Amino acid sequence: MSRKKPLPILEDILITDVAAEGKALARYNDMVVFVPFAVPGDIVDIQLCKKKKSYAEGKVIAYKKYSEVRCQPICSQFGTCGGCKWQHLPYSEQLKYKQQQVEDNLTRIGKIELPAIQPILGSKETEGYRNKLEFTFSNKAWLTYEALKTVDLTAPRNAVGFHIPGCFDKVLHIDKCHLQDDITNQIRNSIHAYCQENGISYYDLRAQQGMMRTLIVRNAMTTNQLMVIVVFAEKDESVWEGVLNHIATNFPQITSLLYILNQKCNDTIGDQEVMVYKGNDHIIETMEDLRFKVGPKSFYQTNTHQAYELYSVARNFAGLTGNELVYDLYTGTGTIANFVAKKARQVIGIEYVPEAIEDAKVNAELNGLDNLLFYAGDMKNILTNDFIAEHGKPDVIITDPPHAGMHEDVINVILNAAPKKIVYVSCNPATQARDLALLDAHYKVEAVQPVDMFPHTHHVENVVLLSLRDDELTNRPID
């Protein structure tokens, strides 16, 4: 039986740029080569792993010369853990490539007229900036090739940490993660030590059995309140009591200690009952004079301080005077809706997740706001011409869709409603650019402001202000 010819090794290749998904880019003859964990200016040998007509993917097997812009990663797990893939780039360089990513997407995909794009707003905190992390317990720890040589593979390999990319059943054990306040490391490591000492089983992702399943930690950066959620996969209340009592005793600063029994095939907790062991069933975050109730299932932007910058840009772009009817599409738990409500006549929020809408209503009540209305359902089914005819044509639409962007039906309804302004908040400039092209016939892009929410990753948020090209369109009746 014939075997495939092994792919070649490319020697002395100069890394020239950063490409999509955070990979580095090099060129070999007429072929583009994508490799992870390299930096522009590195000279490397690359083992090709996949080859197509116009591009290839590979991995660095030797560094011949390091780039002058390369820096030392802060995390000992860099290169193995699936997160923080840009730690070897100085933060100023990360921001440069994120700015370029926004500009490239809007010009190459959108192909529309653009104003000068504002310099990206960087995050003041580049470590400990996340307010939420989720860890997985596994009885099959991921081992490096070096560790495989020295470890007894017949012994238990319990780990609590992050999934290895591409290996759903393997988890990298984490001693210290720099993404959240260090109290998270202390709690996770203490739980791990307790479980090891008491022989408590970790979840087997293939066999779907084992006691300890996941751990979620949420810390409210503005109030210092702390939520810990332990997810068990087997029902044994004596074990639960031991684990939860250990946590409560050793970490009295926890204000919300919750637990869940999840025996289904996936880790999502949206459909699971949450039980309170100690404290409240929520924590509180604040933003200006607003208070937001954050429960175990609530969505809240994971970079608290940078979320304020993002929402401030959106509110400033909206330019509200107090007389406007605002539609807040994909409102989530109503954070933006609450944030702009005092400057609007009325805000109508629409969101797919019913639980999020319930949170949004609670937040509006918590903040004493009576000019907010919320509706739950699929956006393309809720936001219709009939809905607008019933609730009024919006003066401003703020939209913050998921990664996939807006459905074309939603865009058509927006065009028909013809608000004077659209503020488009996006976590994916590529799909945002596609949507802007669809809006371009009737709307002009007035301002673009990138915002970095996730240092050390390639992800970037972008806010775009659009204004109606022809004011006469505001007088069109709803079809």
Can you tell me the mean pLDDT for 400-420? 96
| Buried-exposed string 26-40: b where 16+ CB fall within 10 A, e elsewhere | beeeeebbbbebbbb
Calculate the average pLDDT of the chain. Answer: 93
Last residue within a domain, chosen from 287, 318, 347: 287
Amino acid at 320: L
Look up the CATH number of the domain holding residue 363.
Answer: 3.40.50.150
pLDDT at 1: 45
**Are 116 and 161 in a shared domain?**
no
| Domain presence at residue 376 | yes
pLDDT at 295: 93
CA separation for the pair 122, 119 (Å, rounded):
9
**Are 51 and 149 in a shared domain?**
no
The verdict on whether 265 is a catalytic residue reads no
**Are 139 and 115 in a shared domain?**
no
Last residue within a domain, chosen from 287, 314, 330: 287
Neighbours of 60 (CB within 10 A): 18
CA separation for the pair 437, 440 (Å, rounded):
5
**Are 331 and 420 in a shared domain?**
yes
Q: Report CA torsion sign: 361, 365, 366, 368.
A: positive
Can you tell me the mean pLDDT for 1-14? 81
CA separation for the pair 182, 194 (Å, rounded):
19
Q: Are 137 and 159 in contact (CB under 8 A)?
A: yes
pLDDT at 146: 72
**Are 314 and 454 in a shared domain?**
yes
**Are 59 and 120 in a shared domain?**
no
**Are 154 and 169 in a shared domain?**
yes
Query: Taking the mean position of all CA atoms in its chain, how far away is CA 434?
Result: 20
| Domain presence at residue 353 | yes
Indicate if the pLDDT at residue 231 is higher than 50.
Answer: yes
More confident residue, 279 or 7: 279
Q: Are 184 and 175 in contact (CB under 8 A)?
A: no
Last residue within a domain, chosen from 255, 287, 319: 287
CA separation for the pair 168, 195 (Å, rounded):
22
CA separation for the pair 451, 182 (Å, rounded):
25
The answer for residues whose C-beta is within 8 angstroms of residue 61's C-beta and 6 or more apart is: 9, 44, 45, 46, 47
CA separation for the pair 31, 104 (Å, rounded):
20
More confident residue, 111 or 152: 111
| Domain presence at residue 15 | yes
**Are 279 and 142 in a shared domain?**
yes
| Buried-exposed string 110-138: b where 16+ CB fall within 10 A, e elsewhere | bebebeebeebbbbeebbbbbbbbebbbb
**Are 334 and 455 in a shared domain?**
yes
| Domain presence at residue 26 | yes
CA separation for the pair 349, 32 (Å, rounded):
44
Look up the CATH number of the domain holding residue 226.
Answer: 2.40.50.1070
**pLDDT band for position 154 (cuts 50, 70, 90):** low
Indicate if the pLDDT at residue 303 is higher than 60.
Answer: yes
Number of domains the chain is built from: 3
**Are 197 and 275 in a shared domain?**
yes
User: Of 81, 84, 177, 427, which is the active-site residue?
Assistant: 427
pTM above 0.75, yes or no: yes
pLDDT at 155: 67
**Are 317 and 453 in a shared domain?**
yes
| Domain presence at residue 77 | no
Indicate if the pLDDT at residue 457 is higher than 50.
Answer: yes
| Domain presence at residue 177 | yes
Range of the domain at 252: 132-287
* pLDDT-above-90 percentage for the chain: 86
| Domain presence at residue 296 | no
Look up the CATH number of the domain holding residue 33.
Answer: 2.40.50.140
pLDDT at 408: 96
**Are 319 and 397 in a shared domain?**
yes
Can you tell me the mean pLDDT for 352-368? 93
Can you tell me the mean pLDDT for 322-343? 97
| Domain presence at residue 209 | yes
